[in-house]
Structure 1
Amino acid sequence: MGELGINSSEELDLLVKYLGPQSYEHEVSIRASNAGDHSKGIERIWRRLDERYGRPEAIEAAFKKKLESFPKLAHKDKEKLADAPQKYIKLYALLDDQSNRTLARSELFDIMQIPESDSLQYTLSTCAGRSSVSGRKASGLIIESLDGKFRTELPTVIECNQIPTDRQEIPTPDVIRHYKHLRDVKLPPHDDDADILLLIGRDLPEVHHILDQRTGPRATPFAQKLRLGCVVIGNVCLGKTHPPRVLANVNKTILENGRPTIFDTCEHRLAVGVKRVKNDIGHDVFVRSVDDEKIGYSIENKMFLDIMDHEFSKTSDGNWIGPLPFRSPRPRLPNNRNDALKRAHTLQKSLLKDRDKRNHFTTFMKRLMDNRHAEIAPPLIRDEECWYLPLFGVYHPQKRDQVRVVFDSSAKHQGISLNNVLITGPDLLNSLIGVLLRFRKEPVAVIADIQQMFYEFRVSKKHRNYLRFFWHKDNDPSNELIEYRMCVHVFGNAPSPAVATYGLRRCVENQENDCGAVVRDFVRRNFYVDDGLGSFST
């Protein structure tokens, strides 16, 4: 107050103006009782304020109250954190103590804007073997539990797109409520907007520590509480059955007694048949049928062949056209346009940074357009079912100057992908060993190769809107993205190999007059995918 240069009366006026309600009443009372001595009144007021608010206990209590009322910020408060410089994403993470490194899918690296220059070459070992892989790496990423109680820095994260992404493995409250011993386990509801993008290995051991556990009777699932949340381990029973996660086609062999088996039959087994001939008992006792080793198709494979037999046809201009073999019944596909557009923008950024990759992509797409394998997509009818395919490039290790553009039919949206609703079809390939042995049989060799075999078979017009994709106008990555659709069966669709093999054989079916029996047999017996190998005596 001395710095303001005011007298005692003016100081009293200021205190009256700025004190709180309770202190104000006491100040007025003290001022009235010391009306003739303002200096003494000021001294009494300051002494009372010090006793009331200056004690250590009072200061500590006021400080704690202030902290309790301080606004809390969690990872869910996106609006409050909008101005923060850090980037964040809500995701599902897998914990795998059998992995020695922490891995993440490309989407996480793209969201965090990790440049492709921060990459390394590493060896990936899986059940399928060892392979050399290139991917980005990132350091300094922070992971936090959903409740915000645990937060730690991740070790160096390596880009890998072979992380499992089966959303049906995510535990939900609806699952555990059927088990009495799990009812006190707190699980958050399933979040459709959060993707499985991260796999944490044993290089971050503290997140694998088990803080609590709930076990039950034999053959029931159990739960573990970890620092990042709770996990449920075990099979979930519905009506004492375990519904399969994935529907699989099983090729069965029909034995001579009519019973099917999934096991391979022995090539040296003895098949005995009895044919009774009048007046010639014993004639042709050991008879073998041409169907002895014939593989029986599954129900879905029979459905695939039935669709192809009825809808695969030759057009007036000489092109073969076939449908997409949809499962029946099947769920309706959701509209994944926004997801595909986001992937297209990510690819565009990558192409603009890498000139060689950009040239390879535009060359491939130019050939696609020139051959009328793709067309500008027409407008959709309201509520018309469709699907958009994201694109990515694949390089052959020995052909680094060429790229094969793959249509990602396995990309999921709301837990479903195009491949989930298509029938893969039977394995119609010839035995590779048989093809090679017949190739070495005669002195004159003949080889053939079908370039872009899948693209030789067009897709029915009614199914082309399931093959929509985004690409740049006039094939220029600097131009805007517009919608196209494929007119042919694409590399990336699960049924494409079976469709192409079926179509190739259909081309020579009943065509002996045009191409001859030799060509027909060559296609039927000596082709393996798109490569033909044959040998002849002359």
Structure 2
Amino acid sequence: MDDLDAKVKRFWEVENDHHKTYSAEEQLCETHFATTHIRNAEGRYMVRLPVRQEILSLIGDTWATAAQRLTAVKKRLRADVDLRNSYVQFMEEYRKLGHMEVQTRVAVPQFFLPHHAISRPDSSTTKTRIVFDGSCKSSNHFSLNNVLLTGPTVQLTLLATVLNFRVHRNVMTADIEKMYRQILVHPEDRLQQILWRQNESEVIKPYHLNTATYGTSCAPFLATRTLNQLANDGDDFPLAAPVVKRDFYVDDLLTGSDNLEILIKTGQQLIELLNKGGSSLRKWSSNHPALLEHIPERFRETLSAVELDQSPAIKTLRLLWFPEEDLFGFKMPQFS
């Protein structure tokens, strides 16, 4: 037992200190973020893209490939009216919210990202997600992801997150709504561009993407590092700040406490802290009803979204969680 205790202690020491052993490139990315990010008057963070300056000039032509891929997407959309409506709705929302805007000046270099739709029928919120292809090669065989630094992992591992979650008597889950869209990219970083036209009669137009873009190699680092920065800046939220740094896996929150009163206060502080950063938490669920009393119904997870043996469950971190029984489960695929 003494040997087991020592091994468990060492495991948590490694998990808590994993971010301190950065490679030279990871440290460069961390330093770049720390010295270039700013926070606007609304509380939202603006970041600079971590670019490999030595190969930036090697980007070739990307318009032709992006236009060809857009034509293929449009062909697919003509055959699926529901998908077309979802696609157009996504792009229109993106434009209205300022996440993309018509290109008004030529950026040098330019990189146009192809995009396509991924259907997620099991999701209780977003059924269709538009993915931008940062790995698409240019005419010089370089992709945007080749030019961008990936950055280090700044959150605990998936296993550590799940194990932490199982320690507590009272637990709750949630996720950040549209996490990537909340992070602004500096106007001088005009690498992220796309081609789009809503109707076939329109001329194809180039657009700048003004927020962190799902599909680029640096986006996960920028999103999670910004979340940690929000915690670093959250001195007014002593319960929520350490939870943000410890109990998030990307945009999924899994946290808890044996003290129900403290956990209720933690939930309230989490909502306030995330709001200060321009984000919001949705899809709340818990194994104790008191933890959801202050959460509006529209922000709660729909327990009937996933069912196994008639017992209501939700999906979190690719697992099924049954809040009433407080158990994890798996749903085996059906093989024909």
Please give the secondary structure, in 1, of the residue aligned with 2:116: strand
Structure 1 residues 369 and 295, CA gap change in structure 2 (3 angstroms): same
Aligned residue in 2 for 1:428: 154
Please name the residue that 1:359 is paired with: 85
Are 2:224 and 1:485 aligned?
A: no
- 1:100-133 per-position Cα deviation (integer Å, ceiling 9, x unaligned): xxxxxxxxxxxxxxxxxxxxxxxxxxxxxxxxxx
Tell me what 1:131 maps to: none
**1:443 Cα deviation after fit:** 2.8
| 1:371 to 1:294, Cα distance in 2 relative to 1, 3 A | closer
Residues 490, 388 of structure 1: CA spacing in aligned structure 2 closer, same or farther, 3 A cutoff? same
Q: 128, 132, 135: which is aligned to 1:407? A: 132
Alignment partner, residue 317 of structure 1: 42
2:270 corresponds to 1:524 = no
Once the two structures are superposed, residues 376-414 of structure 1 have per-residue CA deviations (whole angstroms, 9 ceiling, x without a partner) of 111316xx2111111111112525982211111100012
**Given the alignment, which residue of 111, 116, 128 partners 1:392?**
116
SS in 1 for 2:153: coil
AA aligned to 1:319 is R
Q: Give the C-alpha shift of residue 476 in structure 1.
A: 3.3
The residue number in structure 2 matching 1:508 is 231
**Percent of paired sites with the same residue:** 25
**Contact 2:15/2:160 (<8 A) preserved:** no
Root-mean-square deviation over aligned CA pairs:
2.8
Gaps of 5+ in 2: 1-5, 261-336
Residue 468 of structure 1 aligns with which residue?
Answer: 193
Distance 1:518 1:481, change over 3 A: same
Point out the structure with the larger helix share: 2
* Equivalent residue, structure 2, for 1:283: none
Q: How far 1:524 moved relative to its partner?
A: 0.6
Aligned mates of 1:270, 1:346 — CA distance in 2: 54
Deviations 1:221-272 (Å, cap 9, x if unpaired)? xxxxxxxxxxxxxxxxxxxxxxxxxxxxxxxxxxxxxxxxxxxxxx73999x
CA contact (8 A) 1:336 1:387 kept: yes
Change in CA separation of 1:391 and 1:293 when aligned onto 2, cut-off 3 Å: closer
Measure how far apart 1:353 and its partner are: 2.8
Q: TM-score, normalising length from structure 1?
A: 0.43
CA deviations 1:19-64 (Å, max 9, x no partner) are xxxxxxxxxxxxxxxxxxxxxxxxxxxxxxxxxxxxxxxxxxxxxx
For residue 448 of structure 1, what is the aligned residue in structure 2?
A: 174
Does the 8 A contact of 1:351 with 1:477 survive in 2? Answer: no
Q: Structure 2: how far apart are the matches of 1:347 and 1:331?
A: 28
Q: Which amino acid aligns with 1:479?
A: E
Question: CA offset at residue 493 of structure 1?
Answer: 0.3
Q: How many residues align?
A: 250
Higher-RCO chain (CA-CA 8 Å, sequence separation at least 6): 2
1:347: how far off? 1.7
Query: In the alignment, which residue of structure 2 is the partner of 1:302?
Result: 27
Cα displacement string for residues 144-199 of structure 1 (whole angstroms, at most 9, x for unaligned residues): xxxxxxxxxxxxxxxxxxxxxxxxxxxxxxxxxxxxxxxxxxxxxxxxxxxxxxxx
Deviation string, structure 1 residues 6-28 (Cα, Å, up to 9, x no partner): xxxxxxxxxxxxxxxxxxxxxxx
Q: Report if aligned partners of 2:213, 2:219 keep a CA contact under 8 Å in 1.
A: yes
Q: Give how far 1:477 is off.
A: 4.8
Distance 1:450 1:289, change over 3 A: closer
Corresponding residue for residue 62 of structure 2: 336
Q: How does 1:239-278 map to 2 (within 5 A)?
A: 268=7
Cα gap change, 1:270 to 1:436, in 2 (>3 Å): closer
Q: Partner amino acid for 1:304?
A: C
Tell me by how many angstroms 1:338 deviates.
Answer: 2.0
Question: CA 1:361–1:477 in structure 2 vs 1: closer, same or farther (change >3 Å)?
Answer: farther
Q: How does 1:19-58 map to 2 (within 5 A)?
A: none
Query: Does 2:72 match 1:346?
Result: yes
Distance 1:346-1:428 versus aligned 2 partners, 3 A rule: same
Q: Would you say the 8 A contact 2:155–2:245 is kept in 1?
A: no
Q: Is the 8 A contact 2:243 2:255 kept in 1?
A: yes
Distance 2:33 2:46 in 1: 10
Of 173, 178, 185, the residue aligned with 1:459 is 185
- Is the contact between residue 321 and residue 460 of structure 1 (CA under 8 Å) also seen in structure 2? yes
Structure 1 unaligned segments of length 5 or more: list them: 1-266, 272-287
Select 1:534's aligned residue among 241, 255, 258: 255
